[in-house]
A and B are shown apart, each in its own frame.
Chain A
C-alpha cells in the first residue's frame, strides 16, 4: 500500500480554541444570569397559572388588553388624520400657518404626556359651563374620551414631524417631474410624493406606535382600566406582586410582536430597493 500523500490527505488544522478572556467570562456570567432569571420567571408564571390570582383577574387582563388596543388605535388614527394639516401648515411659506403649527408641535413634544392628560382631563372641569353650553360636556366628562383626546393631540404633533420630515426628504426632481407631466399638485402629492414619503416614514411610524402603546399606560392614572389600570387595581386588592409581572410579560409580548411584524412589513415594502 502506498501511503496517501500526507500533504493532501490531512484535514485542515482545527481553528485555535478561543481563549477564556475576561470579556468572554463576563459575557457567559451575564448570560447565565439572564437564563437563570428567565427560567425562574417561566417557572414562576407556570406555577401560578392555576393560582386564585390568575383565576380571578386573568379575564380582567384580557379586558384591559382590549381597552389598551382601543385607546392606542383610536388615538393613532385620529392623530394621523390631524397630523396631515399640521404638517402642511408647518411647512407652509406663510407665517400665519407656519407659526401656530410650530407652536402646537413644540408644545406637545416639549411637555410630558402625563401633564397633557391631566390638563385635559381635570382642566376640562374649569370650562364646564362653557362646554355644557356648546354641548360638549358629555365628551369631556368621560375619562376614556379625555385620554384618547390627549393622546391623539400628542401623537398628531409627533406624526406631523415624521410626515414633514419624510415629505421634505423627497427630491425636488420628483415634484418637477410630475409637473412636467402635467399633474396637478394634489395629484402629485398623493400619487407621487406620499407613497415615497411613507416608505421613509415607515420606521419612525413604527417607533411612534410603540411609543403610543407604552404611553397609553398613563391612561391608568386617570381611572381607565387598560392593562396597566387592571394591573394596578389587582395589585391594590391583593398586594400580590405577580400582578406587575404578568403586565410586564404582556407589554413585552405586545411590543416585541409589533416590532417583528413591522420589520417584516418594512422588508416587504422596500423589497425593490434591495439588490
Chain B
C-alpha cells in the first residue's frame, strides 16, 4: 500500500506531477474544443432548419459523415490527412519538407467535427421546442430578424438544449482519451508511461479511470448549476 502511495505521490519518486500534467492537457483539450464545436454545431442546426433544401442537404451530409465514422478514424483522417495535404500543397509550390501536425490541434479539429455534428442535433431539437409564436411575437414588436434571434430565441434555445449539450460535454471529455494515440501527453498517455515504467498497469490505469470519474462528477455538478441558472426565469409551480 505504501509503495502505491509513493508511486502516485508528487516529486521525483512519484508520478503524481506527470499525471497532473496529463489531466491539465485533457481538460484544456476538451475546453478548447468546446467553443468551436458549439458554434459550428449551431450554424449546422441553422442550416438544417432552413427552408432552402440544398442547404439542408449539405448539412445532413456533414452530420451523416461525422456521426458515422468512428472517432478514432476521424482523428487519424485529420492528423495524417492534414499532414499529407500540407506536404502535397508545399510540393506543389516547390518546397519539399516534412511537416508534422501538432497533435493538440489535430485532436481539437477532429473532436470539434464530431462534437458539432452531434450538437447540431441537440440544437435542432431545441429549435423545434420553441413555438412559432415566439418569432411572430418578436416581429410584431418590430424587432429585426437578427434581434429576434438574439434576444428572444437564443435565450430559450440555450435552456432547451442544455441537458443534451451537457451529455455531449461528458462524451467529449471521454473522447479526448483517443488523442493519446497520436502522441498527445494527456491523462491516458501519461498513465500509460507510468504503468510501463513502474510495471503497475492496474494501479495507473485505475487511477486514470478514477480521475475521469471525478472530472465527470465535477462537470455534472457544474452543469446542474448552469441548468438551474438557465431556468431562473421559470415560474415555480
A positions within 8 Å CB-CB of B: 21, 23-24, 26-28, 30-31, 33-34, 106-107, 110-116, 118-119, 122-127, 210, 213-218, 220-221, 228, 231-232, 235, 241, 244, 247-248, 251-252, 255-256, 259
A25 to chain B, nearest CB (A): 9
**Whole-angstrom distance from the CB of A129 to the nearest CB of chain B?**
13
* Residues from chain B with Cβ under 8 Å of A123 in the complex: 201-202, 205-206
Cα A122 to Cα B208 in complex, Å, equals: 13
* Residue among B47, B76, B181, B188 with max Cβ neighbours from chain A (10 Å): B76
B213 CB within 8 Å of chain A: yes
B197 at the interface (CB under 8 A from A): no
Q: Is the CB of B208 within 8 A of A115?
A: yes
Residues of B within 8 A of A119 (CB): 201-202, 205-206, 208-209
Looking at the assembled complex, report how far the CB atom of A222 sits from the nearest CB atom of chain B, in whole angstroms. Answer: 11
Q: In the complex, A70 Cα to B99 Cα: how many Å?
A: 38
- How many residues of B sit at the interface, in one of the four size bands? 35 or more
Cα distance A171–B61 when bound, in Å? 39
| Pairwise interchain contact A31-B54, C-beta atoms closer than 8 A | yes
Residue B216 lies at the interface, judged by CB distance under 8 Å to chain A: yes
> Which residue of chain A lies nearest to B177 when distances are taken between CB atoms in the complex?
A112
Contacts of A112 in B (CB 8 A): 174-178, 188, 212
Q: Is B195 on the interface with A (CB-CB < 8 A)?
A: yes
Chain A residues within 8 Å of B21, by CB: none
Contact A126 B202 (CB under 8 A): yes
Choose among A107, A118, A217 the residue that contacts B70 (Cβ–Cβ < 8 A). Answer: A217
State whether B202 touches A106 (Cβ < 8 A).
Answer: no
Give Cα distance in the complex from A110 to B169, angstroms. Answer: 12
Q: How far is the CA of A220 from the CA of B76 in the complex (A)?
A: 13
8 A-B pairs with least C-beta separation: A27-B55, A27-B54, A123-B202, A122-B201, A112-B177, A30-B58, A217-B70, A126-B202
Partner of B68, one of A26, A126, A255: A255
**By DSSP majority rule, is chain A's interface helix, strand, loop, or mixed?**
helix
Shortest B208–chain A CB gap in Å is: 5
B residues 189-206 touching A (CB-CB < 8 Å)? 191-192, 195, 200-203, 205-206
The answer to whether A114 and B58 have CB atoms under 8 Å apart is no
Chain A residues within an 8 Å CB radius of B72: 217-218, 220-221, 228
Q: Which residues of B contact A232 (CB under 8 A)?
A: 76
Q: Which of A34, A122, A125, A231 contacts B58 (CB 8 A)?
A: A34
Asked if B9 is at the interface of the complex by the 8 Å CB criterion, the answer is: no
Question: Residues of A contacting B52 with CB < 8 Å?
Answer: 21, 23-24, 27
Contacts of A124 in B (CB 8 A): 202
B55, B80, B84, B209: the one contacting A115 at CB < 8 Å is B209
Known contacts A111-B209, A119-B209, A244-B81; is-contact A30 B200 (Cβ 8 Å): no
Q: Decide: B69 and A214 in contact? CB cutoff 8 A.
A: yes
Looking at A30, A118, A220, the one whose CB has the most chain B CB atoms below 10 A away is: A118
Given A112-B177, A259-B68, 5 additional A-B pairs, CB 8 A:
A34-B61, A110-B212, A112-B178, A115-B191, A125-B202
Contact status A24-B212, CB under 8 Å: no
A107 B55 Cβ-Cβ under 8 A: no
Roughly how many angstroms separate A102 CA and B68 CA in the complex, as a whole number?
30
**A107-B209, A112-B175, A114-B178 known; A214+B70 contact, CB < 8 A:** yes
Q: Contact check: which of A33, A107, A220, A252 meets B213 at CB < 8 Å?
A: A107
Specify which of B55, B73, B212, B213 is in contact with A23 (CB 8 Å cutoff). Answer: B55
A114 to B192, CA, bound (A): 11
Q: Which of B44-79 contact A (CB under 8 A)?
A: 47, 50-58, 61, 64-65, 68-73, 76-77
Q: Cβ of A220: which chain B residues have Cβ within 8 Å of it?
A: 72
Contacting pair A244 B73 (CB below 8 A): yes
B180 contacts partner chain A, Cβ-Cβ < 8 Å: yes
9 interchain pairs (CB within 8 A)?
A23-B51, A111-B216, A113-B174, A115-B208, A122-B195, A122-B202, A127-B202, A231-B76, A252-B68
